[in-house]
């Protein structure tokens, strides 16, 4: 099988003229006629993959070129640069959108990273806007995570020709941020895009994307982190990792990691079976994390309102809004797991909601000197908490 080493062709875009039409009740849509000029930049993505990308300037390296801003006079959405990385921030219901050229009867893979403010979810809308017709929704996703998360979906276009548009919006009086937006044909060889990194549920992950045939084959695909074995797949089984079906034709294996700048990830094709030597391994792909993926979540520093002990009961009071979001809050005693909450559900503890807070009660024997703690932990209930798992102590209490 041919091995493709990775390089990216970034596109520098210059707008030449603008055509406007209406989208929705109050949104002005301007479709730009664009000329492009290419330059080469080194990266760990394949040229073939970038050429196949339908979205233009999805990482905003060329500012807002190719993108249509719903309220340009108010600079909303706005382009923001942090740590040399760019993203857009929309607020008060404003959005960015882009017309995309998709082939009929073709499966496409959509991916993007998103975060939103409390109480007002981010919205992603994909549909058609044909001449003389109103906008027709084909896919709508809402996201209430207040830290960056990567999301994906697939869509097969109908057999007729259409004009497609994808829109990334804030809602209500809230804000939403978007970055690393991409649409690719599912026909792109999976060999070119095996490795990805991202953040879900306050946890950084390494993703290994394989075709169903690759995943089920008797060929080892081994992932190394900073030169050390990390996980692998073989004959339909993932070792030291979890799996998730992407669509009918592909599977991803994934494992959490620290997500620190400079970490090097490699995937090799190896003969033999798991447990055997990997001396004759063949490098397929590598990437280096170019910025820290995980940082302290300052929005949750006030999530714990109170911790107290009454008799044999540990009582933890949480902010109700933080309790209902996709935050894995783990309660422990002397470092040992007691209970947790996630997305409005309490596990191994009773919950009582009142006046904007949630009171969790757990029956346990407590002695003077015992330490109760509440931590924000990466992942979701049922995920194993490894040394690489993200963890942020929110509050502690010493029993007197």
Contact yes or no for 274/236 (Cβ under 8 A): no
Confirm whether 8-185 and 199-288 share one CATH topology: no
pLDDT at 294: 76
pLDDT at 26: 34
pLDDT in tens, 9-19: 222 222 323 33
pLDDT in tens, 186-216: 764 444 579 999 888 889 999 999 999 999 9
Strand partners, 35: 14
What gap in Å lies between CA 41 and CA 235, rounded to an integer?
Answer: 37
What gap in Å lies between CA 183 and CA 164, rounded to an integer?
Answer: 12
pLDDT at 137: 95
pTM of the predicted model as reported, rounded to 2 decimal places: 0.55
Considering the segment(s) 199-288 as one domain, its CATH architecture is: Sandwich (2.60)
| Closest among 60, 14, 31 to 180, alpha carbons compared | 60
Which strand (E) or helix (H) includes residue 29? strand 27-41
User: HSE of 21 in the Cβ direction (CA atoms, 13 Å)?
Assistant: 15
Domain boundaries, the chain: 8-185, 199-288, 298-398
pLDDT at 249: 85
Considering the segment(s) 298-398 as one domain, its CATH architecture is: Sandwich (2.60)
pLDDT at 105: 87
Residue 236 CA: distances (Å) to CA of 210, 214, 222, 384: 11, 9, 13, 21
| CATH pick for 8-185 out of 2.60.120.260, 3.30.40.230, 3.90.1150.10, 3.50.50.60 | 2.60.120.260
Place of tokens 């009961």: 313
pLDDT at 187: 65
What gap in Å lies between CA 175 and CA 118, rounded to an integer?
Answer: 9
Running DSSP on this structure, what letter comes out for residue 53?
B
How is residue 224 written in tokens?
């190394």
Regions in the chain scoring below 50 on pLDDT: 1-51, 188-191
pLDDT at 181: 96
pLDDT at 83: 82
């Amino acid at each position: 099988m041919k091995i493709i080493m990775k390089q990216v062709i970034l596109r520098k875009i210059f707008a030449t003229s603008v055509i406007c039409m209406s989208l929705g009740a109050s949104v002005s849509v301007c479709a730009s006629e664009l000329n492009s000029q290419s330059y080469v930049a080194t990266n760990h993505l394949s040229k073939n993959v970038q050429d196949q990308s339908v979205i233009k300037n999805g990482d905003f390296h060329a500012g807002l070129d190719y993108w249509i801003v719903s309220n340009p006079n108010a600079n909303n959405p706005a382009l923001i640069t942090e740590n040399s990385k760019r993203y857009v921030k929309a607020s008060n219901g404003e959005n960015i959108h882009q017309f995309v050229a998709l082939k009929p009867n073709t499966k496409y893979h959509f991916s993007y990273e998103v975060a939103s403010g409390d109480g007002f979810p981010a919205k992603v809308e994909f549909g058609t806007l044909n001449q003389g017709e109103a906008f027709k929704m084909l896919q709508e996703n809402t996201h209430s995570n207040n830290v960056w998360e990567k999301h994906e979906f697939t869509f097969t276009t109908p057999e007729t020709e259409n004009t497609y548009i994808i829109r990334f919006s804030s809602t209500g009086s809230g804000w939403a941020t978007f970055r690393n937006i991409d649409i690719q044909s599912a026909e792109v060889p999976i060999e070119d895009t095996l490795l990805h990194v991202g953040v879900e549920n306050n946890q950084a992950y390494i993703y290994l994307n394989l075709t169903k045939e690759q995943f089920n084959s008797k060929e080892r695909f081994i992932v190394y982190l900073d030169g050390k074995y990390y996980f692998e797949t073989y004959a339909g089984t993932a070792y030291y990792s979890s799996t998730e079906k992407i669509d009918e034709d592909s599977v991803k294996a994934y494992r959490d990691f620290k997500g620190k700048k400079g970490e090097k990830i490699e995937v090799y094709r190896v003969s033999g079976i798991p447990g055997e030597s990997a001396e004759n391994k063949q490098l397929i792909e590598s990437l280096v994390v170019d910025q820290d993926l995980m940082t302290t979540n300052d929005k949750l520093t006030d999530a714990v309102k109170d911790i107290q002990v009454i008799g044999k009961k540990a009582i933890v009071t949480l902010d109700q809004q933080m309790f209902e979001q996709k935050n894995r809050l783990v309660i422990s005693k002397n470092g040992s797991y007691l209970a947790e909450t996630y997305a409005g559900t309490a596990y191994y503890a009773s919950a009582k909601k009142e006046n904007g807070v949630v009171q969790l009660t757990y029956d346990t024997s407590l002695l003077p000197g015992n330490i109760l703690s509440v931590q924000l932990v990466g992942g979701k209930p049922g995920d194993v908490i490894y040394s690489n798992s993200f963890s942020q102590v929110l509050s502690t209490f010493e029993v007197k």
